[in-house]
Amino acid sequence: MSFNRKLPTKISKGVIRPRAYFWQDDGFIVREQVLFLMERFTLRASDGHQVACYLWPVTEPRAIIQIAHGMGEHAMRYARVARQLNAAGYVVYANDHRGHGETAGEHAGFMGLDGWNRTLADMYELNGRCRGLHPELKLCLLGHSMGSTLS
């Protein structure tokens, strides 16, 4: 079980939030100060749907990693993974798929009509944005569970 508590928020081209995460490991709660920046932004999909997206930037990226989360998850579950990838020099992008996380809105668990194809299109649009912002970098898709199938 994990908990998180938001720390003060700084506004700059989206929301950048340093966060403190609390992880329960073997019955003990361990406090880990996460010292990285994360920017949340919204991508308007081709059908008008608002897709919650996240960026974990680095100053001199060596490549782009786009994370696709699994069924019943959300992109912020991969914050620790993103931090580790940042430490290795990778810029990381992720989005909450339709019916998941902040993209779900009131319809959690329901991807909508033609939801699978629309979710693929959302990932493709985010992929295009990543490539547009970093045309010189290689891009790798990293998917877990349902996200691996989408990737």
Cα 80–Cα 85–Cα 89 angle in degrees, nearest 5: 145
Beta partners for 11? 15
| CATH for 138 | 3.40.50.1820
In a domain, 4, yes or no: no
Radius of gyration of the chain (CA): 15
109-113 long-range Cβ contacts below 8 angstroms, 24+ apart: 109/72, 112/49
What pLDDT does residue 87 have? 92
* Domain-embedded: residue 22: no
- pLDDT tens digits for range 26-83: 544 445 444 568 899 999 999 999 999 999 999 999 999 999 999 999 999 999 999 9
Reported as a pLDDT band with limits 50, 70 and 90, residue 110 is confident
Cα separation, 134 vs 61, whole angstroms: 9
Tokens 């403190």 sit at which residue? Answer: 20
Q: Is residue 65 part of a domain?
A: yes
Query: Looking at per-residue confidence, does 36 or 16 come out higher?
Result: 36
Task: State the Cα–Cα distance between residues 143 and 139, nearest whole angstrom.
Answer: 13
107 pLDDT band (50/70/90 cuts)?
confident
In-domain check, residue 45 = yes
pLDDT tens-digit readout, 91-106: 999 999 999 999 998 8
Question: Tokens representing 118?
Answer: 């629309």
**If you average pLDDT over every residue of the chain, what do you get?**
82
What residue numbers bound the domain in which 103 lies?
37-150
Q: In total, how many domains does the chain have? A: 1
Across the beta sheet with 63-68, what order do the strands follow? 10-11, 15-16, 39-44, 50-56, 90-95, 63-68, 139-143
Given a contact cutoff of 8 angstroms between Cβ atoms, the answer to whether 30 and 23 are in contact is yes
Residue 124, pLDDT > 80, answer yes
pLDDT at residue number 30: 47
Q: What is the pLDDT of residue 5?
A: 39
In a domain, 9, yes or no: no
Lowest mean pLDDT: which of 1-10, 81-90, 128-137?
1-10
Question: What integer pLDDT is reported at residue 123 of this predicted model?
Answer: 97
